Amino acid sequence: MPSVHSVSYSILRQQGLDIVFGNPGSNELPFLKDFPEDFRYVLGLHEGVVVGMADGYALASGKSVLVNLHAAAGTGNAMGALTNAWYSHSPLVITAGQQARSMIGVESMLANVDAPSLPRPLVKWSYEPSCPEDVPRALSQAIHMASLPARGPVYLSIPHDDWQCEVGEEASLLPPRDVHHAGAPSDTQIDALAEHLDQADNPVLVLGPEVDAERANALAIELAERLCMEVWIAPSASRCPFPNRHACFRGVLPAAISGISEQLAGHDLILVIGAPVFRYHQYAPGRYLPDGAHLIHVTSDAQEAARAPMGNALVGDIRAVLEALLPKLAQSDRTMPDPLPIPSPANSGEIGRLSPESVFDVLNDRVPDDVIYVKESTSTVTAFWQRVEMRHPGSYFFPAAGGLGFGLPAAVGVQLASPDRRVIAVIGDGSANYAISALWSAARYNVPVIFIILKNETYGALRWFSKMLDAESAPGIDVPGLDFCALARGYGVEANHVETRQKFEEALSQALDASCPMLIEVPTTTIEP
């Protein structure tokens, strides 16, 4: 009779989950015993780093990824990173080791009491099988649940003595199972959407991360050009769904109720595709919509559609919606928008610390056309979008929930999933410390990420908020005295400290020519988000 262990690995192999991101404890060793040669294990030194790497891998590859965590404490360590994965719709299949079944009730050491409750509400589904024979079926369900729309992480707690148990022959039915989503819109729904767009005098398009995740970028460009629409990126942008130097591009919407209404004033129809309506951050109450505006929301996430405070929604496959919609629309006779002006180059003869704008100008001039940016410098978001051109799908990743600790590990995962593209991580010095041990994984597996640390010795975004909230005297805002070159070298990553634009250009060229991870520490000024 086959074992839970052998059938589970057959399921993982058949479903394409042959890379495991993990940090093992004693509860996980029975799963990892006799680890198959055709699988790959990627070790992170902290569970937050493990989930961050898996998140980056899932975002860049578009595939489900297996994560192996350790019981309650390990799962708890991963919760911050799990918040980002939840809001980025990353299909993570998270397995966590559990104590032996006979030891759970007495709350022995490393028992995860009420395990399914622990990761909620940051997972689509959470479960602990009631018996060993149910483990393979539950694993199969978890894999399919993670990848069905709206995608997202799932959690499975597995007692460590289950792996050696035998299962019936019927378990052989599980590995080849396929579960497909068929969410095409009806002709009636598409006709109604096309009619709304045809009748609008001044429609505007707002795009979210799901457009990039579904590689529907080209369809969004065609829609904008067909109707000569201005295009905004939804607030709190975690991906780049539209080329930011296109004539229709207007920028990223502010994450504030009143700010969005101000930017969209004058438009009578707001079409939002692949984003929540909306991810607010700054408390700036006001009208949800400008006067005379109507909103239509297209998303695969029923929860996003249901919780929106305004507008009508169509829940379905956004790529299918766009493919069906475009043939229904005639070319508009409206004038195409004028492209936004490109900011003037930053002063190349700066004295003292470099400005982030100067760093971004160098990046834009020197890196490959298809580079992928993983960014976690929250105080420089606006400057980055203005100065760094992004034209290809899958070119930009930012923490979807704003949870710090995303950037370093996610960059490692993105590079593992995208070996044919260069990955550059632009990280603030405050953010970097949340997951600094990701540098060890980059060095251990020779993942050639270029890590650029913008070192302004403060939490830049928090410094800005302290001014807004009249709390500049609050403690804990500054982080002086960090030596990222020493930290990087300690983890096995080559590092350079640079203080001038010329030295940064030289260090960047060296890193681009290298086939190993490298870190560049750049002291910079502090700017507003």
Encoded tokens for 161:
């003595």
Residue with structure tokens 């979008």? 385
Question: 192: which residues sit within 8 A by CB, 6+ positions away?
Answer: none
Q: One digit per residue, pLDDT tens: the chain, 529 residues?
A: 899 999 999 999 999 999 999 999 999 999 999 999 999 999 999 999 999 999 999 999 999 999 999 989 999 999 999 999 999 999 999 999 998 898 888 888 888 899 999 999 999 999 999 999 999 999 999 999 999 999 999 999 999 999 999 999 899 999 999 998 887 899 999 999 999 999 999 999 999 999 999 999 999 999 999 999 999 999 999 999 999 999 999 999 999 999 999 999 999 999 999 999 999 988 888 999 999 999 999 999 999 999 999 999 999 999 999 999 999 999 999 999 999 999 999 876 667 789 999 999 999 999 999 999 999 998 899 999 999 999 999 999 999 998 899 999 999 999 999 999 999 999 999 899 999 999 999 999 999 999 999 998 666 565 555 565 666 666 766 667 789 999 999 999 999 999 999 999 999 999 999 999 999 999 998 877 6
Q: Which CATH architecture has domain 187-328?
A: 3-Layer(aba) Sandwich (3.40)
Strand order in the sheet with 154-159: 40-43, 19-22, 65-70, 92-98, 154-159, 126-127
- Taking each helix axis from N to C end, the angle separating 407-417 and 47-61, rounded to the nearest 10 degrees, works out to 40
Question: pTM for the complete prediction?
Answer: 0.95
Q: Which CATH class is domain 4-173?
A: alpha beta
Question: 460: which residues sit within 8 A by CB, 6+ positions away?
Answer: 377, 378, 379, 380, 428, 430, 526, 527, 529
- Taking each helix axis from N to C end, the angle separating 501-513 and 356-366, rounded to the nearest 10 degrees, works out to 40
Please choose, from the candidates 395, 401, 398, 406, the residue with its C-alpha nearest in 3D space to the C-alpha of residue 430. 406
Catalytic positions, please? 25-26, 28, 47, 70, 281, 402
pLDDT for 425 equals 98
Please choose, from the candidates 321, 320, 318, 261, the residue with its C-alpha nearest in 3D space to the C-alpha of residue 291. 261
Half-sphere exposure of 486 (CA within 13 A, CB side): 3
**Mind giving me the DSSP string for 342-353?**
PPPPP-TT--SS
CA distances from 220 to 168, 239, 278, 318, 384 (A): 49, 14, 19, 10, 22
Neighbours of 134 (CB within 10 A): 16
Map 238-277 to HEC letters: CECCCCCCCCCEEEECCCCHHHHHHHCCCCCEEEEECCCC
In one letter, which amino acid is 269? L
pLDDT for 109 equals 85
- Domain residue ranges of the chain, discontinuous segments joined by +: 4-173, 187-328, 356-523
Question: Residue 402 gets which letter from DSSP?
Answer: -
Quickly name the fold that domain 356-523 has: Rossmann fold (3.40.50)
Q: Give the three-state DSSP class for 314.
A: strand
Question: 145: which residues sit within 8 A by CB, 6+ positions away?
Answer: 124, 125, 154
User: Distance between CA 269 and CA 366 in Å, rounded?
Assistant: 40
H-assigned helices in 160-317: 187-199, 209-213, 217-227, 257-263, 302-307
Whether 4-173 shares its CATH topology with 356-523 is answered yes
User: Distance between CA 406 and CA 52 in Å, rounded?
Assistant: 6
User: Distance between CA 319 and CA 220 in Å, rounded?
Assistant: 9
pLDDT for 464 equals 53
Neighbours of 251 (CB within 10 A): 16
